[in-house]
Amino acid sequence: EPEVTQTPSHQVTQMGQEVILRCVPISNHLYFYWYRQILGQKVEFLVSFYNNEISEKSEIFDDQFSVERPDGSNFTLKIRSTKLEDSAMYFCASNFRGGASDTQYFGPGTRLTVL
């Protein structure tokens, strides 16, 4: 069964550094997403991406965040200047049609630790 993959599984960085989290969505999917989950808290939506542009974003997704699909397979989340409160699990997800009835498939996550 095809699956979403994410690298690295764990990223440790110093406050103020830039990090790039990488995702390879399922190959025929067209909609891509990033979510995050701070330890012990809810899964929170960050951004959705379709046709090479952001389609929706949450209040969390401020100017420090950006997303990119640099080639035909990768989907990345960049945090320009990390803060302590960015420490969380970051999940990538994808689906084919988008919308309410199409299942989103999640990757295993990247644990980001900001020191």
Partner 1 sequence: LAKTTQPVSMDSYEGQEVNITCSHNNIATNDYITWYQQFPSQGPRFIIQGYKTKVTNEVASLFIPADRKSSTLSLPRVSLSDTAVYYCLVESAGNMLTFGGGTRLMVKP
| Interface residues toward partner 1, by CB under 8 A | 4, 31, 33, 35, 42-45, 48, 50, 55-56, 58, 89, 91, 93, 98-101, 103-109, 111
Residue nearer to partner 1 on the CB measure, 18 or 22: 22
Residue nearer to partner 1 on the CB measure, 16 or 36: 36
Instruction: Give the torsion through C-alpha atoms of 101, 102, 103, 106, to 10 deg.
Output: -130
Residue nearer to partner 1 on the CB measure, 59 or 71: 59
Which candidate, 62, 59, 94, places its Cα nearest to that of 78? 62
